[in-house]
């Protein structure tokens, strides 16, 4: 007899792109963040990122972010403007309350731009929000 497999739905976890000033290099740069808007921490966050189109693709990068406290964000990577014309995808896996969650977020081609930044619901965080 088959058991019912429960696939939990990820909520209150986001990927955002934020245009920020880099003091060390003295220029504006786009950074990608994983945001936890839950009231409790998420654990062992892992992200696989890649960019692609019909004719181009980037390297696949793996990021171990670890635990993220409640209502906090963690930087994943700096993203170069040369890949904004691609679909930029972030596959996120994390544990919450003893269960594993997975969700894939995407920035459509040319969506990462200053005028698309907005504030995340009920938070202080602002950026381009991945779909």
Report the residue count for the chain: 131
Q: Token digits for 107?
A: 């920035």
CA 130 to chain centre: 7
Distance between CA 75 and CA 33 in Å, rounded? 4
Output the domain CATH number for residue 23.
2.60.40
Taking the CA atoms of 87, 88, 91 and 92 in sequence, report the sign of the dihedral they define.
Answer: negative
> Does the residue 105 lie in any domain?
yes
- Pair type for strands 61-68 and 27-36: unpaired
Structure-model confidence comparison of residues 88 and 1, the more confident one:
88
Distance between CA 60 and CA 104 in Å, rounded? 14
Measure the CA dihedral 12/17/22/27, to 10°: -160
Please determine, for residue 2, whether its predicted confidence score (pLDDT) is greater than 70.
no
80: domain range?
13-129
What does the pLDDT look like over 51-64, one tens digit per residue?
999 999 999 999 99
> Does the residue 3 lie in any domain?
no
Token look-up 């654990």 returns: 43
Candidates 29, 51, 38; CA nearest to 11 is 38
Give Cβ neighbours of residue 122 (< 8 Å, ≥ 6 apart).
37
User: Total domain count for the chain?
Assistant: 1
CB 38 within 8 A of CB 70: yes
> Does the residue 4 lie in any domain?
no
What does the pLDDT look like over 5-44, one tens digit per residue?
777 999 999 999 999 988 887 889 999 999 999 999 999 9
């Amino acid at each position: 007899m088959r058991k019912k497999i429960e696939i939990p739905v990820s909520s209150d976890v986001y990927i955002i792109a934020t245009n920020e000033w880099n003091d060390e290099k003295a220029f504006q740069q786009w950074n990608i963040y994983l945001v936890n808007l839950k009231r409790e921490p998420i654990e062992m966050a892992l992200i696989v990122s890649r960019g692609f189109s019909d004719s181009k693709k980037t390297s696949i990068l793996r990021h171990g972010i670890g635990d993220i406290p409640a209502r906090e964000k963690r930087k994943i990577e700096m993203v170069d403007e040369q890949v904004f014309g691609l679909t930029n995808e972030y596959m996120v896996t994390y544990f919450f309350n003893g269960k594993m969650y997975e969700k894939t977020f995407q920035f459509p081609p040319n969506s990462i731009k200053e005028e698309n930044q907005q504030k995340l619901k009920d938070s202080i965080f602002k950026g381009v929000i991945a779909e």
